[in-house]
Copies of this chain bind each other. A is one copy, B any other.
Amino acid sequence: MVCSIDLIEKPQLYNPILIEGLPGIGFVVNIAALHLIKELKAKKFAQIFSSSFQDFAVTTENGGALSPINELYYVKRENGKQDLIIWYGNTQALTTVGQYELCGKILDLAQEFGCHFVISIGGFKKDEAQPIPAIYSTATDLDTMKTALDLGTKVMVGHVFGIAGLSIGLAGIRDIKGFSLLVDTPGMNPDVNAARYALRTLGKYLNLDVDLSKLEESGSEIKNILESFGIIRSITEEKKKEEQQLRWFI
């Protein structure tokens, strides 16, 4: 199997933009993606499972068992705005091969629904929290890079690990354009402030009406969800090990 897709619905989407929101440093992107899903009342239309996800179940506070999973949600928008596909989940794949399979399948699926643009979000590990975190970008091409810089981002220098980097890299060798938004974060706890800045920059590009005043509140709710998933501790511990080898900025 490696990677299987369970399609719940086949929505008609207008030139949708894929927004990558898998867990990474500071859970910036996870908070941002969950907030978008809630605020925009996004609808789940696909579930993705990979045999390269961890082989365990995580429990909720009620004893429910949850599998590692990725999901796709869509948001239909009016007035000629492009629709959105939000790629949300509680894990990335454990192996390189699994990451390629996962990212390739999601991009295949997004392209079937007419997608030509992808935005990945990530945390960029800093030693201390920044009151106004900087946002770094990399893009599939120089025109798109200019668009990202016009949003107030800086040029990313170095490697962008994991799905945040792979999605932009693989997009560049398909008929897809896109950029990454990598936000400064100390990275150890769900970082609501970094998520706020990510969503502001994303909102500027997407012309989004997301109410960010509720983010703090919604952020701690999200923190609770993540903690009951049990993944916060284990992911941050894994990260610590990996950081010893290479700087990490999913």
Contact = CB atoms under 8 A, between A and B. Distances in A.
Size band of the interface chain A makes with B: 35 or more
Given A51-B100, A53-B96, A96-B53, A63 B156 contact: yes
A59 interface: yes
A63 B145 contact: yes
A42 interface: no
A63 B173 contact: no
Contacts of A236: none
B96 A160 contact: no
Number of this chain's copies in the complex: 4
B51 A166 contact: no
Nearest to A145: B63
A132 interface: no
Contacts of A230: 157-159
Contacts of A161: 55-56
B1 A65 contact: no
Interface stretch (A81-89, A134-142, A195-203, A215-223): A134-142
Contacts of A97: 2, 51-52, 95, 98
A206 interface: no
Contacts of A98: 97
| Interface of chain A: mostly helix, strand, loop or mixed | mixed
A33 B163 CA distance: 30
A103 B52 CA distance: 13
B96 A51 contact: yes
A180 B65 contact: yes
Contacts of A173: 6, 47, 49, 67, 69
A175 to B, nearest CB: 12
5 contacts: A1-B104, A2-B97, A49-B173, A55-B163, A63-B148
Given A55-B161, A57-B165, A64-B139, 13 more contacts: A1-B104, A51-B100, A55-B165, A56-B160, A56-B161, A57-B160, A57-B180, A59-B138, A62-B142, A67-B166, A67-B172, A158-B230, A159-B234
